[in-house]
Amino acid sequence: MLSSSTSTLRLHQPTRPHRRHPPAPAAGGATHLGPSRRWRGHPPAAPLRARPQRIRALDAAQPFDYETRAAGLLEERQRLKIAIVGFGNFGQFLARTFARQGHTLLAHSRTDHSALAATLGASFFTDPHDLCECHPDVVLLATSILSAEAVLRSLPVHRLRRNTLFVDVLSVKEFPRNLLLSSLPPDFDVICTHPMFGPESARDGWDGLPFVFDKVRVGDCPARRARAEAFLNIFEREGCRMVEMSCAEHDAHAAETQFLTHTVGRMLAMLELQSTPINTKGYETLLRLVDNTCSDSFDLYNGLFMYNKNSTELLNRLEWAMDSVKKKLFDGLHDVLRKQLFEGSAQPPSTSNVRK
């Protein structure tokens, strides 16, 4: 207990030392808790060996709720003003958790979602100028992949604070990375992220689900680093598996993990599969895959194809794989047919033979 309170004390000392001490003496006189009063009457040059003991005594005199207050202060510093741009399916889904964690939320979208925003305690802005003038700490780009460039260009970024943090959650990563770096002023921080889950797959919480991020550009000063960490901490606190990787590496993996999954889900949907009285576990997995993938917009799926250069190759491989499996089946069938045709070995038994 003692050691934990000591470490918390050290953690906060450099930034807000005044919080750790009793109030300073009022002008013109010392309070009963003031350091000058406390030391009154002692010899001015106390022996050096005595000093550490006195400092320990000061530590022991911390108010009884010191730890609670310190934790509250830390919590306060972690709180962010987040502007969500693109307040659709996924933007709203993220907003619910941000709101629960106590962050201040602003939102902007093409459609007026002000009624829904109000239910989350978020302020909705139809005009992006008004949103930017609120000086959010973080602007979170959660618009569709296809509209991201136009939406970003429509934002009056000159109205934001000079070193605002921009974060995107697009399901492809190299495209927004290049877009943000080329469109934003060099003073802005940029983190590209991809929560690898959605409203369907994370219905029961985010615990254990992968969250990919790339700190593309975070200014080298404590406040900017702390802001970046505070943002990432939102996902860490929910139990996400934090995966730091480059945007290029993400896209190479995501072609398989995501585009393949969505493609198979959409192909199965074309078959209009129905639940039956004899569903196997495997079949139920297929039905769930259809639900998980087809509840996302076609724009999202199209974006995975258009804006990930690895997707075309994946589609070709999928086609090749289907052909290979079919070929194996038909080759086997041809073998049987050839045997029947050329060796006559598969003649159906005659009825007289059966009787005998």
User: Residue numbers of the site for ligand NAP (CB under 6 A)?
Assistant: 86-91, 109-111, 142-145, 147, 151, 169-171, 195, 198, 296-297, 299-300, 303
User: Would you say 123 or 163 has its CB closer to ligand NAP?
Assistant: 123
Nearest distance from C-beta of residue 299 to ligand NAP, angstroms: 4
User: Would you say 150 or 248 has its CB closer to ligand NAP?
Assistant: 150
Nearest distance from C-beta of residue 253 to ligand NAP, angstroms: 14
Q: What is the 3-state secondary structure (H, E, C) of the chain?
A: CHHHHHHHHHHHCCCCHHHHCCCCCCCCCCCCCCHHHHCCCCCCCCCHHHHHHHHHHHHHCCCCCHHHHHHHHHHHHHCCEEEEECCCHHHHHHHHHHHHCCCEEEEECCCCCHHHHHHCCCEECCCHHHHHHCCCCEEEECCCCCCHHHHHHHCCHHHCCCCCEEEECCCCCHHHHHHHHHHCCCCCEEEEEEECCCCCCCCCCCCCCEEEEEEEECCCCHHHHHHHHHHHHHHHHCCCEEEECCHHHHHHHHHHHHHHHHHHHHHHHHCCCCCCCCCCHHHHHHHHHHHHHHCCCHHHHHHHHHCCCCHHHHHHHHHHHHHHHHHHHHHHHHHHHHHHHHHCCCCCCCHHHHHC
Nearest to 167 by CA among 114, 111, 212: 212
User: Would you say 188 or 206 has its CB closer to ligand NAP?
Assistant: 206
Phi-psi category of 329—alpha, beta or left, where left has phi over 0 and alpha has psi -120 to 50?
A: alpha
Nearest distance from C-beta of residue 335 to ligand NAP, angstroms: 46
User: Would you say 160 or 169 has its CB closer to ligand NAP?
Assistant: 169
Please give the Cα distance from 87 to 93 (Å, whole number): 9
User: Would you say 145 or 165 has its CB closer to ligand NAP?
Assistant: 145
Nearest distance from C-beta of residue 203 to ligand NAP, angstroms: 11
User: Would you say 188 or 301 has its CB closer to ligand NAP?
Assistant: 301
User: How far is CA 277 from its chain centroid?
Assistant: 39
User: Would you say 70 or 232 has its CB closer to ligand NAP?
Assistant: 232
Nearest distance from C-beta of residue 91 to ligand NAP, angstroms: 6
User: Would you say 88 or 136 has its CB closer to ligand NAP?
Assistant: 88
Nearest distance from C-beta of residue 200 to ligand NAP, angstroms: 7
Taken in order 133, 136, 137, 142, the sign of the CA dihedral is negative
Nearest distance from C-beta of residue 16 to ligand NAP, angstroms: 37
38 is written with which tokens?
A: 């406390």
Residue nearest ligand NAP, CB atom distance: 198
How many CB atoms within 10 Å of residue 72?
11
User: Would you say 70 or 141 has its CB closer to ligand NAP?
Assistant: 141
Please give the Cα distance from 221 to 336 (Å, whole number): 73
Nearest distance from C-beta of residue 195 to ligand NAP, angstroms: 5
Nearest distance from C-beta of residue 150 to ligand NAP, angstroms: 6
Nearest distance from C-beta of residue 189 to ligand NAP, angstroms: 20
User: Would you say 62 or 297 has its CB closer to ligand NAP?
Assistant: 297
